[in-house]
Amino acid sequence: MTRISYKRHRFPPVVIQRAVWLYFRFTLSFRDVEEMLAHRGMDVSYETVRAWTLNSANAS
């Protein structure tokens, strides 16, 4: 399993990991994950969530 690099990311690794986990664990849409993060005060676009999930899928 390849380690994921968090260099040059705007958000801490914990936020990225949580967003990816939410997307895959509960089969939410990117916009659902965006909305859930917004409720927690994090301004993340659904396109960013999409990029994170694509990155994590390619790393494994």
Question: What tens digit of pLDDT does each residue of 8-46 get?
Answer: 888 999 999 999 999 999 989 999 999 999 999 999 999
pTM: 0.84
Residues 6 or more apart in contact with residue 27 via CB below 8 angstroms: none
Give the CA-trace dihedral at 44, 57, 20, 35, to 10 degrees. 50
Whole domain around residue 22: which residue ranges? 13-59
The answer to whether position 35 is within a domain reads yes
pLDDT value of position 7: 81
The answer to whether position 6 is within a domain reads no
The answer to whether position 23 is within a domain reads yes
3-state DSSP assignment of residue 34: helix
Q: Comparing C-alpha atoms, which of 11, 21, 8, 13 is closest to residue 57? A: 21
Say how many domains are in the chain: 1
The answer to whether position 43 is within a domain reads yes
The answer to whether position 8 is within a domain reads no
